């Protein structure tokens, strides 16, 4: 039996135990210990689960915030390394606000002035930003809520959350289902479904911080990126979207021809100065089409390449400009400035107040569906 097949059988056995008893003890290939993720939050037990495919790729997921805690991916020589930021135990996630690996909702990004109008009624939301806006759905957002988890197979786990009517000001009882699957073509596949009993707005997203090098103590600025987008949404001086679409052509945000993140990230360009790097939403050329990649990033040292497929109209790309080397994560690493990059597949910020943006409205009788896949390949 090959090592990868042996690993898959071991993972299958473990997954069966997890489904039946709610979290058996294990040590993941990332070094995470399931025992370190046992705590009580809101009267419910936190736990760590792992999913893997027949090639040995492994992801660890916690039901606290439906978060991706680790993601083990091989380099060109077959060496598995963890490529996402996070903490080695549940206390790290509970003790400080952050969105490492989190499922963010109800609305990722900002809703300006913490209000919007739908069907003639104004809804006032929790203003959790210093300028009076609602950021990432309020505090706490879905990334700091307890989800119910069921491991449905060795390679897949489904998590559910019922967001009550009025949570952080949002209307309706919203029922959310999220399924993570580690596919045999080496993708971390994420599928969302949601239903509501009143008209509401919804913008869900995974907020993993990636560093394909496997060295989470290094910058991502030498990694090469391509984005299939001709436009982006600009900010005003206070980092509020203006409602416009600007062309990427002749700007540092043009990744229609691949180049490194660091090549233009410090250019004297107003949009970069506002956020000290990249922290923008690119409008994808083929919204709704998850059969072709919308973006990719490549690390020449390891040979890893991650392709992003999505049904969403945008990818918000954030280059870790707020990382300051003062947060200690897994393996005692203090995550450095620009030490990771996020690919947040989503709708645009403040869409409820900008009718020219694709709608984020969900109504009773409708089923919200969204799909994103992070697919990994290596050069030879």
Would you name the residues annotated as active-site residues? 207, 344
Residue showing tokens 């400009």: 321
CA distance 86 to 327: 10
How far CA 238 is from CA of 92, 139, 234, 271, 337, in Å, comes to: 30, 21, 11, 11, 21
Work out the number of other CB atoms within 10 angstroms of the CB of residue 171.
18
Let me know if 20 is exposed, middle or buried by CB neighbors in 10 A (0-12, 13-18, 19+): exposed
In contact, 277 and 319? CB cutoff 8 Å = yes
Separation between Cα atoms, residue 110 and residue 43, nearest integer Å: 30
Nearest to 266 by CA among 221, 320, 299, 300: 221
Please, are residues 315 and 308 in contact by the beta-carbon 8 Å criterion? yes
């Amino acid at each position: 039996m090959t090592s990868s097949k042996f690993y898959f059988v071991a993972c299958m056995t473990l997954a069966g135990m997890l489904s039946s008893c709610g979290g058996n003890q294990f040590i993941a290939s990332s070094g995470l210990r399931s025992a370190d993720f046992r705590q009580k939050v809101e009267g419910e037990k936190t736990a760590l689960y792992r999913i893997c495919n027949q090639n040995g790729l492994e992801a660890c997921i916690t039901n606290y915030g439906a978060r991706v805690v680790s993601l083990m991916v091989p380099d060109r020589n077959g060496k598995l390394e963890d490529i996402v930021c996070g903490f080695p135990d549940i206390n790290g996630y509970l003790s400080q606000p952050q969105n490492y690996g989190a499922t963010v909702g109800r609305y990722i990004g900002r809703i300006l002035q913490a209000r919007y109008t739908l069907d003639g009624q104004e809804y006032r939301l929790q203003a959790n930003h210093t300028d009076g806006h609602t950021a990432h759905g309020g505090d706490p957002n879905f990334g700091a809520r307890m989800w119910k988890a069921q491991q449905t197979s060795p390679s897949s786990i489904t998590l559910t959350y019922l967001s009550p009517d009025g949570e952080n000001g949002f209307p309706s009882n919203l029922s959310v289902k999220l399924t993570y699957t580690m596919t045999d073509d080496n993708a971390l596949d994420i599928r969302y479904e949601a239903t509501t009993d009143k008209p509401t707005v919804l913008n869900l997203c995974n907020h993993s911080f990636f560093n394909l090098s496997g060295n989470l103590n290094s910058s991502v600025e030498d990694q090469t990126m391509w984005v299939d987008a001709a436009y982006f949404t600009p900010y005003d001086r206070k980092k509020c979207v203006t409602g416009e679409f600007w062309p990427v052509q002749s700007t540092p945000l043009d990744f229609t021809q691949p180049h490194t993140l660091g090549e233009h990230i410090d250019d004297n360009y107003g949009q970069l100065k506002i956020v000290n790097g990249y922290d923008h939403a690119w409008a994808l050329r083929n919204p709704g089409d998850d059969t072709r990649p919308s973006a990719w990033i490549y690390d020449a040292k390891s040979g890893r390449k991650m392709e992003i497929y999505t049904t969403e109209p945008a990818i918000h790309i954030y280059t870790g400009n707020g990382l300051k080397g003062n947060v200690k994560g897994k393996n005692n690493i203090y995550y450095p400035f620009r030490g990771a990059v996020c690919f947040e597949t989503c709708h645009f910020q403040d869409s409820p107040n900008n009718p020219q943006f694709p709608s984020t409205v969900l109504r009773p009788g409708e089923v919200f569906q969204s799909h994103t896949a992070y697919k990994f390949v290596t050069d030879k």
